Structure 1
Amino acid sequence: MHDESTKQPCCNPPWEPPQVIPAQVRRVNNLIFRKINQFHRENNVDNVTPMHDWIMSYLYWHKNDPVYQRDIEREFSITRSTVTNILQLMERKGYIERQSVPQDARLKRLILTEEGVRVHEKTMLSLHQTDEFVAGLLTEEENAELLRLLNKLRKGLE
């Protein structure tokens, strides 16, 4: 005989939704992006997406190294088709150029344009403002622990 009183309801998960880690991370991520967008508007770069920010930053800090599409795919853990679309839009906006490589015509080195450098500097100001705002919500010890835990999660999920 089956005991109905111990049976779990069909539609109620055994956890409280606000405590599911991926859901909480997603919520915090959305709020951080809103804050970035607020600072972007204040710094007159509200037409730049956060992903464009990060790619321009990567190209800026690696300007003396050859950077190719596969490097962007690996660095940001995004698919080839997604990176292709992002880079095409960045090229149309004048942020980057693709330069042919003499040893392999199939490879295109990614170069940040002067416009890309200018936009990068303004977007970096917004990102620094966001980072300072978010870090200010926690103590120094809490920030260190949060970063440690996020890095641990990222490494475990890669």
Structure 2
Amino acid sequence: MKKENIGAELRELNISLLRHLAKNKAKPNKEKPDCPDETRGLQVWVIDYLIKHQDEDVFQRDLEKEFVMRRPTATNFIKKMEQAELIRREPVAYDARLKKIILTDKAFKLQAGMMAKKQEFETLLRDGLSDEEIGQFITTIQKIKHNLREQ
């Protein structure tokens, strides 16, 4: 039996995902004007996360941890979301060094369209896979992530 190279397979999968996202980003979405083209990829996931945690103070470090980002990457990402007027940062009373991340009205208005895009992408990824295959895939990915965190 041929020994598969997990690293190469993951790299190819990542490239395929990025190409798919880039290809779809290039297409203007006239059918769904409530989800502008500049709101893509990770922004959708972050907005979803912030909506689910809107009763809590969410800080940059929370996004870094949740989305496995390094600090400089998170800083640039947050700046872009601020420029797109999707979030704003506000200081908290209990620590002048911290600024919580808050969704703007614009982000809330875009929520339905973004969640529809997220669901379309998930449906595409699950096409032709059984619940058992999906469960095994998720378990395997979690084990690989755990292995990488151990290093």
Q: TM-score range by the shorter chain?
A: 0.7 to 0.9
Question: Counterpart of 2:40?
Answer: 49
CA distance in structure 1 between the aligned counterparts of 2:50 and 2:93, rounded to whole angstroms? 20
Unmatched runs of 5 consecutive residues or more in structure 2:
none
Alignment partner of 1:78 is 2:63: no
Question: Counterpart of 1:146?
Answer: 137
Question: Whose RCO is larger (CA < 8 A, sep 6+)?
Answer: 1
CA distance in structure 2 between the aligned counterparts of 1:35 and 1:41, rounded to whole angstroms? 14
Question: Counterpart of 1:62?
Answer: 53
Question: Counterpart of 1:29?
Answer: 14
Contact (CA 8 Å) 1:36, 1:127: kept in 2 or not? Answer: no
Letter in 1 for 2:91: S
Question: Counterpart of 1:20?
Answer: 5
Question: Counterpart of 2:114?
Answer: 123
Question: Counterpart of 2:125?
Answer: 134
Q: Which is worse superposed, 66-75 or 36-45?
A: 36-45
- Normalised TM-score (structure 1): 0.79
**Count of aligned positions:** 142
Give the C-alpha shift of residue 23 in structure 1.
2.2
Letter in 2 for 1:23: A
- Normalised TM-score (structure 2): 0.82
CA distance in structure 2 between the aligned counterparts of 1:140 and 1:125, rounded to whole angstroms? 21
Give the C-alpha shift of residue 87 in structure 1.
0.4
Which structure has the larger Rg? Answer: 1
CA distance in structure 1 between the aligned counterparts of 2:54 and 2:72, rounded to whole angstroms? 24
Unmatched runs of 5 consecutive residues or more in structure 1:
1-14
Give the C-alpha shift of residue 41 in structure 1.
4.8
CA distance in structure 1 between the aligned counterparts of 2:124 and 2:40, rounded to whole angstroms? 19
Question: Counterpart of 1:94?
Answer: 85
CA distance in structure 2 between the aligned counterparts of 1:80 and 1:120, rounded to whole angstroms? 26
Q: Structure 1 stretches (4+) deviating beyond 2 angstroms?
A: 29-46, 118-121
SS in 2 for 1:121: helix
